[in-house]
Chain A
């Protein structure tokens, strides 16, 4: 692992990899970086900044949620009863576990255990698949009950009564937010799976070593963001409504 202190050292002009015509770079080291540690630090900083961007993107939806929940507390409560807490909880456990396995993959890549890295990355990707399958069944159920955003909302009609209750028409707002928030999160799950698959491929190709594990590290970092967003979505949508 590197730290902020390595950047100081990496600016030393006598360090190797400078100038031209040497051709003496490690294969993974881009020509504008001094050392592998320097390159790793830069990649990690870039991913942290991207995570800040992502959080602000979700931030807009959280603000909308807070605003409309404040205006329609009772309706939000009624509507959230129609979400499946068990499925939501299962998905929460699955994602939390996948964050652990992602972290273990990083650990194994740092100590140079290529097989261990592959194993934990595959477990992480399997967890992501389980999450999406559960989400698929949840969505399917919502579609069936007419619990849809906007024009497509029909849960206020008698044929969609639930335990003898129908939802008020304006409950479509809750489901608009539900689908936007979980949908955008689902897109991020897919992007995260793409990033982790890319990291897995680099590992299988033998590009990852204890000196170069940047793809695993930043892939896992992104995956933790995906997990983090869900940690907020689950209680806000499923538990407190």
Chain B
């Protein structure tokens, strides 16, 4: 097509495409108006870390209040708002955009050998939609907050006098950000793979992002219409979810979980995607069962749409429906198990390098397994009747969401930190922070497993004195966890200010994103790369070559 060129145009807006992306364009405006996927990824990263901090503060307040029975620091009405805000912020503002929008934006196009995502303007727009949605949520917090729980169940939400409408509008808007990011990634993965990057060579991170994007595109619109109906119910008294007007409150639960169960996989599949990369890099081995792991991500995406009813075993579904949903829920264990066993097999006879990212990946493996297996308890009908709405459920999904996704997020953050910032971080200090986080996390939630199995209901403000030791232990654990996060924040700030300059490939990874400089140049690669090998072909290079660059990468020939 070069022959059809009409006139020379500068495609880069006056920016040198070979300049380090952090220096290409100066001033705050060059960031706010950037179309560069790397800068948008960094802006997302900062946003989700702020959201995580805010949600974490609410978590600490919940634990502090529950340190003793009765009133500790706040009243019951405030407590309802605090746990709702913890959930809503962590789910909608942190965990859903965390790995896909922040890290996915940064590394996915580089892994594919592309210069950018397919629709850079749409990408920037999705970031601003996220910001607008976040503003609505913050407005809700300062204008009375929400006390319904993050699930906005009717009739709580329709009768609550708290600021439900602005929160649901905020979540509605955030949903579009999520949809547009997913759409962008699907098209990018289909259309912007470099020459030689066929589907069997896609890094597993990309496969995970692909599965996640499919869920984002297909599930999120259902949440949008549900929240639109809920807002209309509040404003017009629509009645669709109101039994006294002829509607059906359980319909809200069906609609809500038709999104929110797949959303669980929007949260966990990216975590799995990150640790798949970490296991390969730090075991110096090709991922065992590459194709099985790739397909199990798609399997989770599919099954995610078929199991929403397991949130509603006690909501008055028919017994037949609960049986079907219970059976389908058990199927989720298959792709999850495929992943866990293949990761374990990857470690076997690998030369394991225990860096902090690898410690997070191993934490993921252990904690996700606990979280996943306790999910089977809850999917079993008779057991769920006892455990429903207890702290057992809370501990289960925190083991998956925090033990899984957050561990993956932190592992990925440290793993790609040199790629993103061009700086190394203090490895021993990072290991200390990992130890605090790992121990603190388990202390918080193992106590909750035990008291949940003994009947402590979730979301309660007060409890009988028998539960006091467990609650106290859990609260002490939350302090250990908080210390771990503050040490980690210190490590990262220190790295930004005084960190040593990173070589292009500090981990000696065979991943394609390490083939470019760290931090990458504005256009990612000086020349469009030609991919001649898989992302985990550690057997094709010596240890020095891993750090200095694969010999194959210079031949540019297809074998």
Contact = CB atoms under 8 A, between A and B. Distances in A.
A62 to B, nearest CB: 10
Interface residues of B, number: 63
Nearest to B115: A32
A20 B526 contact: yes
Contact of A150 (B115, B116, B117, B239): B239
A37 B186 CA distance: 18
Contacts of A90: none
A164 interface: no
A11 B193 contact: yes
Interface in A24-72: 24-27, 29-38, 41-43, 45-46, 49-50, 52-54, 56-61, 63-64, 67-68, 72
Interface in A193-232: 211
B218 A26 contact: no
Contact of A173 (B17, B246, B530): B246
A40 B232 CA distance: 39
B528 A53 contact: no
Contact of B218 (A18, A20, A56, A184): A56
A172 B239 contact: yes
A182 to B, nearest CB: 14
Interface stretch (B3-11, B282-290, B451-459, B461-469): B3-11
B520 to A, nearest CB: 14
A191 B236 CA distance: 24
B507 interface: no
Contacts of B11: 23, 25, 29-31
Interface string B230-262: 001100111110000111100100010010000
Contact of B217 (A33, A37, A52, A63): A52
Contact of A149 (B2, B187, B191, B239): B239
Given A20-B18, A57-B225, A180-B229, A150 B236 contact: yes
A24 B195 contact: no
Contacts of B229: 60, 64, 180
A56 B2 contact: no
Contacts of A45: 186-187, 190-191
A68 B239 CA distance: 11
B255 A49 contact: no
Contacts of B221: 53-54, 56-57, 59-60
A13 B218 contact: no
A154 B3 CA distance: 69
B410 interface: no
Contacts of B248: 67
A158 B255 CA distance: 36
B114 interface: yes
A215 B246 CA distance: 45
Contacts of B281: none
B222 A30 contact: no
Contacts of A18: 527-528
B187 A46 contact: yes
Interface string B190-214: 1111110000000000000000000
A12 interface: yes
Interface in A4-25: 7, 11-13, 15-20, 22-25
B226 interface: yes
A173 B240 contact: yes
A68 B3 CA distance: 61
Given A58-B225, A149-B239, A151-B237, A17 B2 contact: yes
A72 B247 CA distance: 11
Contact of A53 (B191, B217, B237): B217
B223 to A, nearest CB: 9
A24 B114 contact: no
Contact of B183 (A38, A50, A170): A50
Given A50-B183, A173-B240, A23 B8 contact: yes
Given A25-B9, A41-B191, A150-B245, A13 B236 contact: no
Interface in B407-462: none
B179 interface: yes
Contacts of B115: 31-32
Contacts of A27: 6-7, 9
B266 interface: no
Interface string B278-305: 0000000000000000000000000000
Nearest to B5: A24
Nearest to B523: A20
Contacts of A22: 2
A149 B236 contact: yes
B251 A31 contact: no
B142 interface: no
Contacts of B255: 60, 63
Contact of A72 (B117, B118, B120, B246): B246
A24 B119 contact: no
A53 B246 contact: no
Contacts of A57: 221-222, 224-225
Residue with the highest number of chain B CB atoms closer than 10 Å, among A36, A46, A173, A180? A46
B99 to A, nearest CB: 20
A61 B3 contact: no
A20 B12 CA distance: 10
B336 interface: no
Nearest to A21: B17
B1 interface: yes
Contact of B192 (A12, A17, A32, A184): A32
Contacts of A94: none
A32 B245 contact: no
A172 B238 CA distance: 8
Residue with the highest number of chain B CB atoms closer than 10 Å, among A35, A43, A53? A53
26 contacts: A11-B195, A13-B530, A20-B526, A23-B10, A24-B2, A26-B9, A38-B191, A42-B187, A42-B190, A45-B187, A46-B118, A49-B217, A56-B222, A57-B224, A64-B229, A64-B240, A149-B232, A149-B237, A150-B232, A150-B236, A150-B238, A152-B237, A172-B239, A172-B246, A173-B240, A173-B247
Given A7-B191, A27-B7, A150-B245, 12 more contacts: A20-B17, A23-B10, A23-B11, A24-B8, A34-B1, A42-B192, A56-B218, A60-B226, A149-B238, A152-B237, A180-B228, A184-B225
| A-B interface, 3 closest residue pairs, ranked by CB to CB distance from nearest | A16-B2, A150-B237, A31-B11
Interface of B: 1-12, 17-18, 114-120, 122, 179, 183-184, 186-187, 190-195, 217-222, 224-226, 228-229, 232-233, 236-240, 245-248, 251, 255, 258, 523, 526-528, 530
Interface of A: 7, 11-13, 15-20, 22-27, 29-38, 41-43, 45-46, 49-50, 52-54, 56-61, 63-64, 67-68, 72, 149-152, 170, 172-173, 176-177, 180, 184, 211
